[in-house]
Structure 1
Amino acid sequence: MALAHTFKANPHWLPRQRPHAIAAIPGENGLPFVGNTLKMLRDPIAFGQHMVSNYGRVFRNHAFGGPTVSLMGPEANELVLFDRDRIFSSEQGWGPMLNLLFPRGLMLMDFEKHRADRKVMSVAFKPEPMRHYAEALNAGIARTVSGWSGKPMRFYDSIKALTLDLAADSFLGMPLGPEADRINQAFVDEVQASVAPVRIPLPGTQMRKGVKARAYLIELFKREIPKRRAGTDDGGGHDFFSQFCRATDEAGQPLSDDAIADHMNFLMMAAHDTITSSATSLVMLLGRNPEWQDRLREEIAGLGLNDDAGLPYGQLDRLVLTEYAFREALRLVPPVPSLPRRAVRDFEFGGYHIPAGTMIGISPAYTHKMPEHWPDPQRFDPMRFSPEESKGRHKYAWVPFGGGAHMCIGLHFATMQIRILMAHLLSRYRIELDEGSGAEWQAWPIPRPKDGLPVRFVPLG
């Protein structure tokens, strides 16, 4: 298996920014070679608060291989994510972390190329496919959670296996079978490699494991493409993979095998890893706040659902409090704590001139805890998202799904899956956490509890 041995930027990327170009911006470089990377990995929230306290909401940093300017707060989020003037490149921002792992993924595209591929992919998230996904999610979730009764378990591990199965059913249209464990581990290796300190796939490094994992997954997807193009697979053609293989671009041409495989690799990772993190944080917070379990359970009971049928697609919008609770979990534990971009043109912000070529970082995790937008920010309070409480809040104070042209394409799928999961869990069980369960989380690259979140699902009397 051939592996790339160096990270190579795409030819159109701007050259690496020299530190002296942003020397006028206050900040600190940290240790030689690694900069502040280790501090950021250890506790990104504390690091961000330290830097803002010392240097303000625009500061210079050195991490993950180079100088960065961090812009903190909702105004910065709006500038970067809405990107009215097309100043910020997502491809060149994420590229140094992801180019060896998820090349040609939707997140690593900009402007017209991004718009064209996103348009092709959006067919998978229209109402009819979403109805099909809802049926598959109900069946898969009911089948699995019915076996969770009473026994101690590590929720993160269990929900990760379930969300991978659900993503395979909805997006691939096929069971993973005996390869399931290897596929799951391959996604784990890819994601962990994205923040590995060593950025080239040298033998024995996490990056090499990630690159090998990508090669395995790409081969898995490519061997299925001919059947999907011809419509000879066994999945019935309703899944995203089949639709994507038969889709055409604006010129009427089918996408290449490489493009399809890379999009599937990124989509499958995002469709189960980020939802795993979000479902885990929500279950943890409901376990710590049993009064909210009761409120959501009452809302779910009001729908008069049958356990086997689950939550029909047409009933999703009736679970208003459930959505508020999910949003609050995403506020407290955003699945993507920070978002990188690269300035392709000079711009001004916060009284500073920031030149083209500068790596830019914004922080949902920091913004979501700013007390001026979220009073008593550590408290779990889903009613923050009621119309009354939301009135007047900055639109970009809550950005767990990003924003602008790069708003997460699967956000409605994620919300639907969480609503269906909660309907099945809370109509059957009471969530009970062990003492100290979920006390410490690994923040990067996608948040997860270090103890796996020990939990019990106690059948309702």
Structure 2
Amino acid sequence: MSRHDSAALKQSPLACPPKASGVPLVGALPALLLERFDFLEAAQRRLGDIFTLNLGFTDAIILCHPRHVQHVLVDEAPRYCKGGPVWESIRTFLGNGLPVSEGEFWKRQRRMIQPAFHQQRLAALTVKMGEVIDESLAGWEQAARTGAPFDMAEGLMRMTMNVMVRAMFGSGLDAADEERVGHELAYVIDYMLWGMMGQGLPGWVPVPGRARYREAIRFIDAVVSRIIERGRRSAGDESLLSLLLHAVDAESGEQMTAAQLRDEVVSLFAAGYDTTSVGLAWALQLLTRHPEAFQRVRTEVDEVLGAQVPGFAELRRLPYTRRVLQESLRLYSPAYWVPRASAEEDELDGYRIPAGRMVLLFVHLIHHHPAIWEEPRRFDPDRFTPERSEGRHKHAWTPFGAGQRLCIGREFSLMEGQLILARLAQRYEVSAVPGREAQVHIGTSLQVKGGVWVHLRHRRS
């Protein structure tokens, strides 16, 4: 849309998107808290793919179609910024790291970090990742020998944390820190969604959970500080941290300051750990409920790898295993929403988008859109075959964002997920514990509530 079009829009009689039902003062919050995605899906059926939601403290425009992703994140991206209470809350933890920074500063940081995620570096990381995965699996042996119920969500949390720290930052966590970091990080990520409601309040006003949140950040910062200090003493290794420590922006000739380095390390650690850990937990939940799919993973892994430890080249020969991850991320995308703020007035689907309005690309609704996905609630990895994907909107599946702000760690996360599923399939039979169904918990990201409880048994053949 041109500036002339924008000026004309301000004089147009376009209406804002229709508003979902709510109650005075708190709007749709009570229904959203009680009914979660069911409430939003019902609103989409009733009002269409674009509607307004009164959240009590602000109105938000909910967008539910891939064409909205194209508009907001690609075609008209300069009109939509990372502003408003959601991003202000996230910045209290991530600072000005890559996921939240904007403009020329973001471009500079992206230029400096991008080389760490080039294909050659990812290929080199597979060996280290495989070592860490196997070390973590060794800690599951007692559960496999006894057949006692095992929480796969907890096990994967520790595994992915160790992969992230060791493979990306060159060294592991101290044993005393490992468990606490996972729980503190889970609290921080969960709190940020609710913390946005208190963003406008003075710091001295008591907000439930805020003191606990700040203490969790202090602990994580202390751990990250130790990781960075170890990285400084290990100059010459090929970890991501080493690259960040020595990166020089080609255009400005500058290196990162200590504060910038902290923000990028925390951002990469939090984003990489949370997306992969939660995504894999949901994948295992689905595979144990669909044993025929698990058998297909096992057959594919046996045919391609046998007992061989998978490397980067072998991952390309495990297409069904990758499709399992894609389908799991469709059904249960950890990044279930993408918030933006309209920097200026805009038009979308014939509706007016006022300047300064919170806009939420609701990934969960896009991933379950009945006009795009046949039987959207059904687990069907083969919907991602090339034949069945042909003609589907390219943004119908968007768990890692889109456009210039596509998640820098997308391929790292999918590669790690394939490696973990392959090693699990090579080593174990995995079955669900009856009556222990994982539940959805909606926070800043989509979390697993109640664990993913399984029985592990060593494979007999």
Indicate whether 1:207 and 2:199 are aligned.
no
1:222–1:257: 8 Å Cα contact kept in structure 2? no
Identify which of 215, 218, 221 aligns with 1:218.
221
Deviates more, 1:287-296 or 1:173-182: 173-182
Distance 1:133 1:266, change over 3 A: same
Q: Distance in 1 between matches of 2:210 and 2:445?
A: 16
Distance 2:259 2:222 in 1: 10
**1:368 offset after TM fit, Å?**
0.9
Q: Which residue of 2 aligns with 1:5?
A: none
CA gap of 1:136–1:40, structure 2 versus 1, over 3 A, is: farther
1:81-138, Cα deviation, whole Å (9 max, x unpaired): 2144511113547413312122202121223322221121112112343133211211
Cα contact 1:57–1:73 (8 A) shared by 2: yes
Asked if structure 2 preserves the Cα contact closer than 8 Å seen for 1:196 and 1:206, the reply is no
Return the TM-score normalized by structure 2.
Answer: 0.88
Report 1:1-12 matches (<5 A): none
User: 2:154 pairs with 157, 160, 164, which one?
Assistant: 157
Partner of 1:123 in structure 2? 115
Q: Could you tell me which of 165, 177, 180 is aligned with 2:178?
A: 180
1:418 aligned residue: 417
Farther off after superposition, 199-208 or 160-169 = 199-208
Runs ≥4 in structure 1, deviation > 6 angstroms? Answer: none
Q: Residue in 1 aligned with 2:81?
A: 89
Cα deviation, 1:144-200, whole Å, max 9, x if unaligned, reads 224432332111111111111111102221111122233223312210211226525
Matches within 5 A, 1:338-349: 338-349=337-348
Give the alignment of 1:367-446 within 5 angstroms. 367-446=366-445
Question: Conserved in 1, the CA contact under 8 Å of 2:438 and 2:451?
Answer: no
Following the alignment from structure 1 to structure 2, what is the Cα–Cα distance between the partners of residues 450 and 94? 23
1:252 paired residue number: 253
**TM-score when scaled to structure 1?**
0.88
How many pairs are equivalent? 436
Distance 1:293 1:75 in 2: 34
- The alignment partner of 2:218 has SS state of helix
Who is 1:298 aligned against? Answer: 299
Are the equivalent residues in 1 in contact too, given 2:429–2:457 (CA < 8 A)?
yes
Answer whether contact 2:117 2:412 (CA < 8 A) is retained. Answer: yes
Distance 1:456 1:314, change over 3 A: same
Cα contact 1:78–1:396 (8 A) shared by 2: yes
Aligned residue in 1 for 2:10: none
More off after superposition, 81-90 vs 352-361: 81-90
CA 1:107 to 1:93, structure 2 compared with 1: closer, same or farther past 3 Å?
farther
Q: Secondary structure at the match of 2:61?
A: strand
Instruction: Write the letter of the residue equivalent to 1:193.
Output: Y
Give the structure 2 partner of residue 105 of structure 1. Answer: 97
Instruction: Give the counterpart letter for 2:170 in structure 1.
Output: G
1:429 Cα offset (Å): 1.4
What is the distance in 2 between the residues matched to 1:332 and 1:402?
Answer: 16
1:86–1:204 distance in 2 versus 1, CA, 3 Å: closer
Aligned twin of 1:361: 360
Higher helix share: 2
Q: Which sits farther off after the overlay, 89-98 or 402-411?
A: 89-98
Matched residue, 2:7: none
Matched, 1:239 2:242: no
Q: Say if 2:283 and 2:328, in contact at 8 Å, map to a contact too.
A: yes
**C-alpha separation in 1, matches of 2:451 and 2:14:** 41
1:173 is aligned with what amino acid? G
SS in 2 for 1:424: helix
Once the two structures are TM-superposed, the CA of residue 34 in structure 1 deviates from its matched residue by 3.7
1:358 deviation in Å?
A: 1.1
Deviations 1:337-365 (A, max 9, x none): 11110111211111111122111011110
Deviating more after overlay: 59-68 vs 159-168? 59-68
Deviation of 1:298 after TM superposition, in Å, equals: 1.1
Aligned to 1:78: 70
CA contact (8 A) 2:343 2:355 kept: yes
* 1:372 to 1:402, Cα distance in 2 relative to 1, 3 A: same
Matches of residues 277-288 of structure 1 in structure 2 within 5 Å?
Answer: 277-288=278-289
Which stretch has the larger CA shift, 204-213 or 422-431? 204-213
Distance in 1 between the 2:34 and 2:330 partners?
Answer: 20
Match of 1:69 among 61, 64, 73: 61
- Structure 2: gaps of 5 or more residues: 1-12
Q: What is the CA deviation profile of residues 232-274 of structure 1, one whole-angstrom value per residue up to 9, with x for unaligned ones? A: 22x7522111210111123111111111101111111111111
Distance of aligned partners of 1:159 and 1:22 in 2 relative to their CA distance in 1, 3 Å threshold:
farther
Q: Helix, strand or coil: the match of 1:100?
A: helix
Report if the CA contact (8 A) 2:189-2:443 is conserved.
no
